[in-house]
């Protein structure tokens, strides 16, 4: 009888482990391609971030929330603005083009997209001055943005945003590339940032 009960319990735990979704990981990769450039790879399971964030109490960061203080948050209802954009049709809403920079803000499905493309003239006035290109792509799920703004008017709820990120199986959040360096931030189910 004891063996049967133990066997049933082992099967239940195994089934529960298989039924639970795999932990999501947030990854940050920074690569400086200069000869002395640094390589940074951060791989943190979202469950660890959820457990650790409430324990941090430093300056304006406390229990997973950031106090933003005297900013323009009281002049614009960010929650209402975000909700209006979320309900609007998919479109490229803002385009700014200048001599050295293009900025686009768009809505696509449940995501707010921000793209910046910058051309910069290289330093120096020689004929060999090179042109550098920088690109920044940001993809923000509306669920994550709403979670971030779910606290009081003077705070950002980072812990709630991390929890909301866990709903996405694979998500590229930020990429930054210039002529020599790159930054990538993403969420997936792998514990490796390659």
Secondary structure E strands in 20-98: 25-32, 39-45, 57-58, 61-62, 65-67, 91-97
- Domain assignment present for 5: no
Split into its structural domains, the chain has a count of: 1
Residue 194: its pLDDT value, please?
Answer: 65
- Domain assignment present for 101: yes
**Domain coverage including residue 148:** 22-122+130-188
Q: What is the pTM of this model?
A: 0.74
Nearest Cα to Cα of residue 150 among 161, 139, 141: 161
- Domain assignment present for 138: yes
Structure tokens at 105: 């803000």
Exposed/middle/buried for residue 148 (C-beta within 10 Å: 0-12, 13-18, 19+): buried
Query: Which pLDDT tens digits describe the chain residue by residue (194 residues)?
Result: 434 433 433 333 333 333 334 588 999 999 988 878 888 999 999 999 999 999 989 888 888 998 887 665 667 788 888 999 999 999 999 999 998 899 999 999 999 999 999 886 544 434 344 456 889 999 999 999 999 999 887 889 999 999 999 999 899 999 999 877 899 999 998 877 66
- Domain assignment present for 27: yes
| 12, containing H or E segment | helix 2-19
């Amino acid at each position: 009888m004891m063996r049967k009960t133990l066997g049933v319990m082992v099967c239940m735990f195994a089934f529960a482990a298989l039924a639970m979704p795999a932990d999501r990981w947030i990854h940050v990769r920074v690569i400086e391609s200069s000869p002395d450039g640094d390589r940074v790879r951060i791989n943190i399971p979202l469950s660890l971030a959820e457990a650790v964030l409430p324990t941090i109490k430093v300056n304006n960061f406390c229990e997973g929330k950031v106090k933003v203080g005297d900013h323009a948050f009281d002049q614009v209802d960010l929650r209402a603005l975000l909700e209006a954009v979320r309900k609007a049709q998919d479109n490229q809403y803002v385009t700014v083009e200048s001599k050295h920079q293009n900025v686009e803000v768009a809505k696509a499905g449940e995501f707010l997209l921000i793209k910046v493309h910058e051309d910069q003239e290289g330093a120096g006035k020689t004929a060999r001055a090179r042109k550098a290109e920088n690109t920044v792509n940001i993809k923000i799920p509306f669920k994550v943005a709403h979670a971030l703004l779910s606290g009081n008017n003077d705070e950002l709820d980072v812990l709630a945003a991390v929890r909301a990120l866990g709903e996405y199986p694979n998500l590229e959040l930020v990429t930054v590339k210039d002529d020599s360096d790159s930054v990538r931030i993403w969420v997936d189910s792998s514990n490796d940032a390659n």
